[in-house]
Structure 1
Amino acid sequence: MAEYAGDDEPLFDDDAPVPGAGVDDEPRWPLLIVDDEPEVHAVTKLAVADLEFAGRRLECLSAYSGREARERLRERRDVAVVLLDVVMETDHEGLDVAQFIRRELDNQLVRIILRTGNPGQAPALRVIRDYDINDYKEKSELTAEKLISAVYTGLRSYRDLAALERNRRGLQTVLEVSGGIFSERSMERFAAGVLEQLTALLYLDRDALVLRTSALAAQRQGQAFQVLAGTGRFESITGQITTDTLHPTVRDRIHAGLDQRANVYAEDYFTAYFRMPDGAEQILYISGTHPITAPDRDLIELFARNVGIAGENLRLTRELERSQRDLVFILSEAIEKRSRETGNHVRRVAEYVQLLATAYGLPEQEAMMLSLAASLHDTGKIAIPDSVLNKPGIHDDQERAVMRTHASVGARILDGYDQPLLDMAAIIASQHHEHWDGSGYPAGLMGHDIHLYGRICAIADVFDALGSDRCYKQAWEVDKVFDYIRDQSGKQFDPHLAELFLDQKPNVMNIRARYPDDFSGS
């Protein structure tokens, strides 16, 4: 083999020396060398041995055939650049590997540099056009300088594309949260999305965050912090209220930003401070080896201001939803109190409805809204005379007819407001006494003619009513109530929903334990 003389000498000669291997534990950019000639691997590793991009060196991986390259790429989805030979097992093996990367693995991020000693086998224009190749080099003309330049270009493109993809995911999270105000964790998801966007815009690689860069968004609660989102070493404490789990140095840096009420920039970290209109303080902390430039500072400060506004809007929306929920419970419990029923009946029914709706597969937001609407299922009882509502014995035919009017009365009270929550509640009020076999009231609906919301609430309401004391009966034993649900499957209840409810027995029992009555059955 020819002697390796310098950057301008051809890399691939028969006499190039084989380099020794070095060991470096720092995180690196994965570079996959695919070639069936061992000396090509050796010379390539020698040429890029000192290459460093964005503070990271290379991790050189080797594959000596198309089959081995496919295995490597399946195992390592983080490969940044592939140096790919064309002729290996077949005259077009490298092109087949390129198609495998783009089509089967659907990996559009990795940069592919095709290297060939037989350019006639794979004309450059056709290959770049038809195989989504990012660069094309003839081995006979490829010097160390040209190779390093090509690898730099590939790494830069990979980094930028990966940052765009992470930015897209962060934006998607934020947009999803904007439509999910009924989610109890929407603020946390919002913060996580913002954090992913910001670290992507600053080219802070998410995988490298584990070792080199860490970030968190926190909200102060007295001397403690609620961690809204975290990456790297802070990821495990996301959602926690923490005082002593943060390293003292990190805690001091965060307190400094809060005390100064200003953004603090240092050589290896920064804190971005923003204050909500209600006085709540939030802090963004990012540390690592990536230097913060002047444009980065402008971006961080703009982000902090806009995130503060968006976060406050999200917080107010969630508080409004909680206030609405509390108001609905207050009103519905007042109605239940009038009928001298157990105080937590409304809350248990709401929880059972959400549990069953989720098991059925309804989206989280719809299931949560449905549980709130279910709290109003007996609104019509407000129109029932006390003598009938609270009669300790069995109703006669006339009293039973009066009692049954509560379903249609409740629907009329709740209908016509053009509000999704009240529309749900009107359906439930009207149909939660309908039976699967058509024997229910007020309309005698059968099967799927009964709205799903009514069918779900029917099981929840009956289960809780049978398991609780009433003015006209003692509570049933809980196993007997489950037996009743099983026996009435396909008769009173939707059989599929009844099966789902029975499968949720441990969760149902947990709800009963969380919301006990002052007096209850076993």
Structure 2
Amino acid sequence: MTDTERDELRFAAEEEKDQATDTSRNWKLLVVDDDDFVHRVTAMVLKGYRFEGLGLTILSAYSAAEAKRLLEEHTDIAAMLLDVVMETPQAGLELADWVRNELKNKLVRIILRTGQPGEAPEQEVIFRYDINDYKEKAELTSQKLYTAITTAIRSYRDMRSIECSRKGLARILSASPDLFRAQSLGEFASGVLTQLAATVCQGDDTLMARASGVAAAKRDGQFRVIASTGKFEAARGRAVAETGDRNVIACIERAAAIKRSFFHDDAFVGYFRTASGSENVIYLQGTRPITEEDRSLIEIFSANISAAFDNIDQNTAMGDTQRELLFSLGEAVETRSAETANHVRRVAEYARLLALKVGMRDDQAENLRLAATMHDVGKIGVPDAVLLKAGPLSESELGMVKEHPTIGYEILKGSGSPVIRLAAMVALQHHERWDGLGYPQGLKGETIDLVGRIVMLVDVFDALGCDRPHRRAWPVSDILAFIGEHRGTMFDPALTDLFLEHRDEFLAIRERWTSDG
């Protein structure tokens, strides 16, 4: 984005702040000397000092120990006037060494000020202790003190800017892989808000906690909030127009109209349009005006955000296609095996619900919902004469039916898709019993994968409630009694308890997806 574009996009007047009364952003000077007169004279000489519109806050330490405490408490000290001889002849030099090598503070500018030059020869200490300037107290007139402090603060400003840019770029690089791994648009947008706030606030946890933002996606002609932070936390899921914040509404509408990103006062408004045409807007409001360094980092980060939005959009489309294919294939198997309509759908929904009850994450439960549609895919390898037989099955026919878990596993196991690999596990194990009397492997207890135990239980629950060629559907009360009676034999005891505890929720799914549902 060019400077001209930035100027054109400032469509609201910026308020002038009275910086003279705002001391929180002052430059900080630490005076370390055991002579109180030095502190009083320094404060008098530098009274009213300003550099680039900011004043000077002077911190006083009368010993090296006190200076260490202040340096640990104030990580943004720009310059330090340091006496050499204090509680010991080498106290100042030892403090300088501690600052650079133990505190690892390379930014603070150290001006060594000594009344006894022989105790600390200039050439030696400048190199050995990483001292930035060396002044004898006798030569440090008011004007020279002013000049030395200004030179030190200017150097600190430049080095801090470089360091902030370095940290910001490192943060962007480290954040990018995590963002690209995000599975949903909302999850991704939430991560973007967090990383943008961290970039703008440069690791200041206090500022970051006060940053606020929304991520909005256009749905059915209007922008809806898919992620939010700070004062906008409660806006998630609502239309942007319902947030009640006129500035947010105006900025998002502006971004959608001009179809590009811009900066506005203390806010960044990012516009992202994917290759498929979907539109997303990020609004982040900081706690101070956005600096040129912030803008450069945000613009670099925005390039990653744009690419990631495209990836998420493509992944979402592929996921939708995969879901449609899985359910279509599951329903095709259901039709061929004369299952009651919506059996596959109900088993999938039951499996997701029980997975959530047992503590799976939302994304894991959703993957199981999709995988469960394939639990009977192996039945395509069972002859129709056996699969559709109205009467009891012979031993050999029963053996054919018992092969369908293995057939299903062989069909699905070679896929590179995590969902299809999960479906292969479900297909193989959904007839294994807790007591080890199931098939095809005779697995027992927790040697059966959790997903196999979940689908086994909900498949039986639904199958008993459906009419089959050789029997009528069972009443709900009989089905629930059967499940309870087989707790610890057919079914995982813990899953059985969860299922029965939440039976009403499972029955609601059953009611929703009835044969004519």
**TM-score, normalising length from structure 1?**
0.66
Q: Of the candidates 422, 425, 428, which is equivalent to residue 424 of structure 1? A: 422
After superposition, residues 74-113 of structure 1 pair within 5 angstroms as 79=76, 81=78, 83=80, 85=82, 91=91, 92=94, 95-96=97-98, 98-102=100-104, 111=108, 113=110
Mean Cα displacement is larger for which, 221-230 or 473-482?
473-482
2:148 and 2:402 map into 1 onto residues whose CA distance is: 86
Q: Of the candidates 167, 172, 175, which is equivalent to residue 173 of structure 1? A: 175
SS at 2:158 equivalent:
helix
Report the AA paired with residue 453 of structure 2: I
Partner of 1:457: 451
Q: Is residue 434–residue 441 contact of structure 1 (8 Å, CA) maintained in 2? A: yes
After superposition, residues 124-273 of structure 1 pair within 5 angstroms as 135=132, 137=134, 140=137, 143-180=145-182, 182-183=183-184, 185-189=186-190, 191-192=192-193, 195=196, 199=200, 217-221=215-219, 224-227=222-225, 237=235, 240-261=238-259, 273=271
1:137 and 1:348 map into 2 onto residues whose CA distance is: 76
Report the AA paired with residue 175 of structure 2: T
Partner of 1:7: none
Q: Can you list the C-alpha shifts for 1:244-279, whole angstroms capped at 9, x where unaligned?
A: 325324433443443344666777777565544444
Q: Is residue 215–residue 287 contact of structure 1 (8 Å, CA) maintained in 2? A: yes
Partner of 1:319: 317
- CA shift at 1:224, angstroms? 4.4
SS at 1:185 equivalent:
helix
Q: Is residue 186–residue 227 contact of structure 2 (8 Å, CA) maintained in 1? A: no
Aligned length: 470
Q: Can you list the C-alpha shifts for 1:63-90, whole angstroms capped at 9, x where unaligned?
A: 66666666666666x6354738577777
1:72 and 1:482 map into 2 onto residues whose CA distance is: 67
SS at 2:414 equivalent:
coil
Partner of 1:280: 278
After superposition, residues 281-300 of structure 1 pair within 5 angstroms as 281-283=279-281, 290=289
2:321 and 2:508 map into 1 onto residues whose CA distance is: 20
After superposition, residues 344-383 of structure 1 pair within 5 angstroms as 344-353=346-355, 358=360, 369=367, 372-383=370-381
Report the AA paired with residue 462 of structure 1: M
Partner of 1:5: none
- CA shift at 1:406, angstroms? 1.8
Q: Of the candidates 18, 29, 33, which is equivalent to residue 30 of structure 2? A: 33
Report the AA paired with residue 193 of structure 2: A
- CA shift at 1:408, angstroms? 0.5
Q: Residues 344 and 121 of structure 1: is their aligned pair in 2 closer, same or farther, counting only changes over 3 Å? A: farther
1:264 and 1:184 map into 2 onto residues whose CA distance is: 22
Q: Residues 431 and 220 of structure 1: is their aligned pair in 2 closer, same or farther, counting only changes over 3 Å? A: closer
Q: CA RMSD in A?
A: 5.4
Q: Can you list the C-alpha shifts for 1:309-350, whole angstroms capped at 9, x where unaligned?
A: 542332122222233134323433554574334742112214
Q: Is residue 78–residue 109 contact of structure 2 (8 Å, CA) maintained in 1? A: yes
Q: Is residue 480–residue 500 contact of structure 2 (8 Å, CA) maintained in 1? A: no
Q: Can you list the C-alpha shifts for 1:449-493, whole angstroms capped at 9, x where unaligned?
A: x5xxx51212212342465553465557879968966x46xx976
Partner of 1:470: 465
Partner of 1:15: none
Q: Residues 366 and 291 of structure 1: is their aligned pair in 2 closer, same or farther, counting only changes over 3 Å? A: closer
Q: Can you list the C-alpha shifts for 1:221-247, whole angstroms capped at 9, x where unaligned?
A: 467433456677556646653213253
Partner of 1:339: 339
Q: Is residue 197–residue 208 contact of structure 2 (8 Å, CA) maintained in 1? A: no
- CA shift at 1:159, angstroms? 3.7
Question: What percentage of aligned pairs have identical amino acids?
Answer: 27
2:45 and 2:500 map into 1 onto residues whose CA distance is: 62
Q: Is residue 111–residue 134 contact of structure 2 (8 Å, CA) maintained in 1? A: yes
Q: Residues 403 and 159 of structure 1: is their aligned pair in 2 closer, same or farther, counting only changes over 3 Å? A: same
Q: Residues 518 and 250 of structure 1: is their aligned pair in 2 closer, same or farther, counting only changes over 3 Å? A: closer
Q: Does 1:443 align with 2:464?
A: no
Q: Of the candidates 390, 402, 407, which is equivalent to residue 405 of structure 2? A: 407
Partner of 1:10: none
SS at 2:440 equivalent:
coil
Report the AA paired with residue 159 of structure 2: S
Q: Residues 167 and 381 of structure 1: is their aligned pair in 2 closer, same or farther, counting only changes over 3 Å? A: same
- CA shift at 1:407, angstroms? 0.9
Q: Residues 315 and 120 of structure 1: is their aligned pair in 2 closer, same or farther, counting only changes over 3 Å? A: farther
Structure having the higher Rg? 2
SS at 1:83 equivalent:
strand
Report the AA paired with residue 177 of structure 1: L
Q: Residues 388 and 225 of structure 1: is their aligned pair in 2 closer, same or farther, counting only changes over 3 Å? A: same
Partner of 1:518: 511
Mean Cα displacement is larger for which, 408-417 or 391-400?
391-400
Q: Is residue 109–residue 158 contact of structure 1 (8 Å, CA) maintained in 2? A: no
Report the AA paired with residue 516 of structure 1: I
Mean Cα displacement is larger for which, 240-249 or 121-130?
121-130
SS at 2:403 equivalent:
helix
1:122 and 1:370 map into 2 onto residues whose CA distance is: 72
1:48 and 1:437 map into 2 onto residues whose CA distance is: 84
2:294 and 2:403 map into 1 onto residues whose CA distance is: 66
Report the AA paired with residue 175 of structure 1: P
Runs (5+) with no aligned partner, structure 1: 1-21, 103-107
Q: Is residue 344–residue 515 contact of structure 1 (8 Å, CA) maintained in 2? A: no
Q: Is residue 171–residue 197 contact of structure 1 (8 Å, CA) maintained in 2? A: no
Q: Can you list the C-alpha shifts for 1:412-458, whole angstroms capped at 9, x where unaligned?
A: 2213345444333223322344467755431345688x5xxx51212
Q: Is residue 171–residue 194 contact of structure 1 (8 Å, CA) maintained in 2? A: no
2:353 and 2:457 map into 1 onto residues whose CA distance is: 12
SS at 1:347 equivalent:
helix
